[in-house]
Amino acid sequence: MNRKKNIAIIIEQLDNFFYGPITKGAKMAAEELGINLFIIESGRIFSKEYYSKEKRYRDRMHVDFERNPLISYAATDGVDLVILGSGYFCNGSEISRKLMSRLSDKKKLVVADTFPGVPSIQYDNSKGIKEAVAYLVEEGNCRNILMFSGPEGNTDAEERLLAYREKMQEYGIEVDDNMIGYGDFSSGCVSEARKLLESNQDADAVICANDAMAQAVYRVLDEMDISIGKDILVTGFDNNPDSARMEPQLATVYADAVTLGYESVKVGSRMIDGEEFDRERVDTQFIPRASCGHEPYRDLLKLEKRKDIGVNSYFDINALSELIVSYIFTGILHDYQSECQRKLIEDSIQRIVARYFGNVVKRNTSEDIYTEMANVIERGGLEYIDPSRLFRVFDLLYKIYCARDLTMTGRTEMESLLSRIKKRVVELLTNKAEIVRKIDWDVNRKVTRFCIALMEMSGSLEKGCFKIIEALEKLDVMSAYLYLYDEPVKFKYGDEWSTPDVLYLKAYRNSEDGVVSVPRSKQRIKRDEITGNMYYTGRIPSSHEMISVFFDTWQFGVLLFDIPEEYQSVFDIVGYYISNVINGMIMRSREINERLIEDLRVEAEIEYIENAKEEAGFLRRREFVGMSESMMLSEDIGVMVITILDVGPLVLMNSRYGQTVVCEAITNCQRIFDELYPEESVKGYLGNGVFAAFSIVREIEDVPKKRVRLEKLTKEIFPETETFMSAYRYHEDLNINDLLYEPVEKLRDI
């Protein structure tokens, strides 16, 4: 193959405890193998059928269709293989089938899930869960162990549930359906956790399908005043950063997402070369912590109570050192570096124990021990130990030593050594915190400068694009390519994930050429060549995030850039500002689409109005349209009814009558819609005091009755309000957007 390999990885969100490490590992492998990696952040593209199970249309419906067109680039000839890094693509839904159909001619690899006929790389779900069950039964003496599983249809969730059933069966413990609950892999599934726990109030333990769901269990147990780690044991899965910060610390299954991303690119490279591949597993390991009653410090405390402690008593150096290290070492032994660090820490602890507790010649002075221990913690050891546990052990060792050595010299020497080590650890922690603080401060400062630079831009679109690429230098971006469409493209939920066949490379930056503004005569590039054009081909292989440049429902183009890892938390902010600047330049130069101005005005309405309408359950206009259109596509649709209440501009009402009157008007609109449509419906706020409801009515005779009831209810509450109700039979030319802009006052012929 003459050119470098191109791999695209599709993830849900870059700034995420799961997908962030996956992309980090993928970048490491891509750099190692000399592969071009394109990271596509698609956002959430849940299907209607997925949410109909969860009954959470209003709570969690995020139709991030603005970024979905990026997926079309993964299907181009410029990409050799696609890594699907989100389980939401592969849960057997309409969305996943549609995606796989679009990528039917492309080599694919699924990460952390499965799809029929597609190779996959996953965690060893079975091993980790079985280790957790074994610990709870053998160490925790538990028999009534519940399983809080993930969503049905998700491969990881189903494998973890199956492993739980199999291991429980090995112990002869019967499992009935009442002992199993189902969540959605998020910390928001509190009601599901409450249902499971209230139905099993005699439970000994709960195994959660991931750490986020364990947070929901923690919340419910706290409400029930049940002590975690004592009254009931809890475990999770993933070992995300929050697990060690939970109170008590969450016992969990360690699953390294970095390794998952790294191996996915390595496997993908072999697949491009023609190697056949089916499925690979990444190892997992159960980590016992306080939430499952694990208290290794208790074993150390037993030493304090030994009756033979005295001047002539000695300890088993190796056994005591191993016990201490197992308590203070919090890293996971999944690579050579972690194993090496553990050995170095153990050697340092052995020297302390040998000098003060062993019946050996004291060959190492306290100064030697301090120097060695300081070197270990300075060269990465601090990343693998818990400082508070180390200090706790030091206090215990000193207490034991004082009980067996009555000489003041020995006590003073040991106290001085341990104090110096503690002081050095504190200094390193302080320096580390200061470095993190400086990085955060530096990132925020540079983002602010970047945004200011964007806001100060003026002039033509061509010059503006050059300045955008130039401004990205403030974010330490070394390589960037900005492609725009010749004309903006309107895109809405339900449309095909596609982009124009031709794009225009307005400007780019790389280490060889610096910042370049491409002449108009050379800008034209086919969509399939976006990753293989004359400006990109032959460059040093690198990883590029892909951003969709859009405003509201209008697509403008795409930006490829290699934003450093420390800026991932501001990834969406950067894209937002760039998109807004380009939108402004396009509006100034072409004065397109008056609806953009209307959307801007709606967004500018005062904050409390937004809060009040959200509390009342009204969706934003974009979400209302997306939800309504998804209902339109249902089978056996019946009669569609659109109802509109126009109470007048809320901002003017606020200035004239005050906040109380406005909030009351919003609440009254909610009450009217709830009474008119007790069945499933969608409620939205369209801006400028206009509220709308969309519902499917099965019996046509009910529509005139609802209209009469609408007028009666409205006149009782606020007589000046205008009302509209329209009914339609479904046909292909119907468009919710158009119907909302042209409401009719009388019932249409149906």
pLDDT in tens, 456-486: 777 778 888 999 999 998 898 989 999 999 8
CATH architecture classification, 461-592: 2-Layer Sandwich (3.30)
Q: Look at residue 205 in the predicted model and tell me its pLDDT.
A: 96
Report d(CA 510, CA 516) in Å as an integer: 9
Task: Please report which confidence band the pLDDT of residue 63 belongs to, taking 50, 70 and 90 as the band edges.
Answer: very low
Report d(CA 300, CA 408) in Å as an integer: 25
Segment 371-411, tens digit of pLDDT: 999 998 888 888 888 888 889 889 888 888 887 666 788 88
Report d(CA 3, CA 537) in Å as an integer: 7
Segment 664-685, tens digit of pLDDT: 788 888 888 888 887 778 888 8
CATH architecture classification, 123-257+285-291: 3-Layer(aba) Sandwich (3.40)
Residue type, 227: S
Segment 149-207, tens digit of pLDDT: 988 877 888 999 999 999 999 999 999 999 999 998 888 889 999 999 999 999 999 99
Q: Look at residue 155 in the predicted model and tell me its pLDDT.
A: 82
Are 351 and 414 spatial neighbours (Cβ–Cβ below 8 Å)?
Answer: no
**Residue reference for tokens 């939970």:** 246
Segment 310-367, tens digit of pLDDT: 555 567 788 888 888 888 887 666 667 778 888 998 899 888 888 888 766 566 788 8
pLDDT at 140 over 60: yes
Are 722 and 679 spatial neighbours (Cβ–Cβ below 8 Å)?
Answer: no
Torsions phi, psi for 544 (to 5 deg): -125, 130
Whole-model pTM: value is: 0.68
- The two three-digit tokens of residue 545, written as one number: 């995030």
- What DSSP character marks residue 618? P
Ranking 415-424, 434-443, 611-620 by mean pLDDT, the lowest is 611-620
Q: Look at residue 593 in the predicted model and tell me its pLDDT.
A: 46
Segment 479-514, tens digit of pLDDT: 999 999 988 888 766 666 778 889 999 999 988 888
Under CATH, what is the fold of the domain 606-741? Answer: Alpha-Beta Plaits (3.30.70)
**Is pLDDT larger for residue 435 or for residue 314?**
435
- The two three-digit tokens of residue 744, written as one number: 């009719």
Are 17 and 253 spatial neighbours (Cβ–Cβ below 8 Å)?
Answer: no
Domain residue spans in the chain?
123-257+285-291, 296-432, 461-592, 606-741
Q: Look at residue 601 in the predicted model and tell me its pLDDT.
A: 47
Q: Which of 565, 577, 561, 567 lies closest to 442 in space, CA to CA?
A: 567
Assess whether the previous peptide bond of 541 is cis (omega < 30° from 0). Answer: no
- The two three-digit tokens of residue 15, written as one number: 């700034």
Q: Look at residue 363 in the predicted model and tell me its pLDDT.
A: 65
- The two three-digit tokens of residue 161, written as one number: 């549930």
Report d(CA 366, CA 353) in Å as an integer: 11
Q: How far is CA 16 from CA 348, 446, 695, in A?
A: 37, 22, 36
pLDDT at 706 over 70: yes
Task: Determine how many CB atoms are found less than 10 A away from the CB of residue 366.
Answer: 18
Report d(CA 95, CA 107) in Å as an integer: 19
Beta bridge partners, 36, equal 6
pLDDT at 56 over 50: no
**Is pLDDT larger for residue 335 or for residue 592?**
335
419 Cβ neighbours under 8 A, 6+ residues apart:
none
Torsions phi, psi for 412 (to 5 deg): -60, -40
Q: Look at residue 746 in the predicted model and tell me its pLDDT.
A: 39
Beta sheet of 145-149, edge-to-edge order: 180-182, 145-149, 205-208, 233-235
* Average pLDDT for the chain: 81
Q: Which of 379, 377, 400, 408 lies closest to 390 in space, CA to CA?
A: 377
pLDDT at 605 over 80: no
- What DSSP character marks residue 151? -
Q: Look at residue 304 in the predicted model and tell me its pLDDT.
A: 66
Instruction: Give Cα 128 distance to the centre of its chain.
Output: 22
